[in-house]
A = this chain, B = another copy of it.
Amino acid sequence: MLEPLPDILIEPVVRAALAEDLGRAGDITSAATIDADARLTATFASRKAGAIAGLACARIAVLTLDPAASFESIAADGEQRQAGPLAKVSANARALLSAERVALNLLGRLSGVATLTRAYVDAVAGTGAVITDTRKTTPGLRALEKYAVRCGGGVNHRFGLDDAILIKDNHVAAAGGVGAAIRRAKAAAGHLVKIECEVDSLAQLDAALAEAPDVIMLDNFSLADLAAAVARVAGKVTLEASGGVNLETVRAIAETGVDVISVGALTHSAPQLDIGLDAG
């Protein structure tokens, strides 16, 4: 079940975004053209089908500029929705229009991430593989974008450099081999830290397997090699496929039997979901 982020993790992002947009003079268009006490009722509505993420961002954006506004969600984060209304808002007209772009930028981006994730998750349905993200996130938005991946049905890879060990090619080279690298990692890791090692060949897989890390990442393996790896590992460690994953290839990858498939595009190249604010 999907769990919301605490508002305390969203508020600083929203406040900074509002400050960035309001600049040094505020919304001079609304100030010039709309009466100070005018009210506006409007609907956040998606123009296309997609998975929703970030309604709290929209709510916090509006309420930050008009604490007396009402915001009623129609959809919920994590839902796959057809085009249509997501939330109804009633607020001071200037405040609502001043908050609109920040609300939509966050809601559209996060829903875009969720929607792309959902497409990958649906593509592997029934295979047993799960879809995971990477650290290829927008600077400053990692917590939010990783949450959006969860909204799309994905699971999260590590959140930063500090919460799991992921040994990549440069670490292997520096440590003098896959085996040595994993051994150094095991010696250094606390008891609540998992260790993953990237390998780029079946030979490296064997070397890694001998040291029993928690997860092995199969980087840019062919489908045949993925299947061979799955057979060879036989469930002893979690296998993650990485590289060359797209919506055309992902199902075949999943069907090799790997446990996890990581997709950088979920956060670095998801187009925004087209969401607008309609008056009335």
**Chain A residues in contact with chain B, CB under 8 A?**
1, 3-6, 8-9, 13-36, 38, 40, 64-65, 93, 95, 97-98, 101-102, 104-106, 108-109, 112, 130, 132, 135-143, 146-147, 155-175, 181, 184-185, 187-194, 196, 214-215, 238, 240, 259-260, 265, 268-269, 271-272, 279
Contact = CB atoms under 8 A, between A and B. Distances in A.
A187 to B, nearest CB: 7
A160 B24 contact: yes
Contacts of A169: 279
Q: State the number of copies, please.
A: 6
A178 B20 CA distance: 28
Given A101-B135, A190-B156, A26 B9 contact: yes
Contacts of A161: 21-23, 26-30, 98, 101
A112 B71 CA distance: 35
A139 B13 contact: yes
Contacts of A194: 191-194
User: Which 6 residue pairs are nearest across A and B when measured between Cβ atoms?
Assistant: A23-B162, A17-B139, A3-B31, A269-B271, A32-B188, A25-B162
A263 to B, nearest CB: 13
B165 A32 contact: yes
B279 A272 contact: no
A135 B104 CA distance: 10
B32 A187 contact: yes
Contacts of A112: 269
B29 A167 contact: yes
A266 B214 CA distance: 29
24 contacts: A3-B26, A3-B31, A4-B36, A8-B15, A14-B139, A17-B139, A21-B135, A22-B162, A23-B24, A25-B143, A25-B146, A26-B162, A27-B161, A28-B161, A28-B189, A29-B171, A30-B171, A32-B187, A33-B184, A33-B185, A106-B139, A158-B192, A164-B192, A191-B215
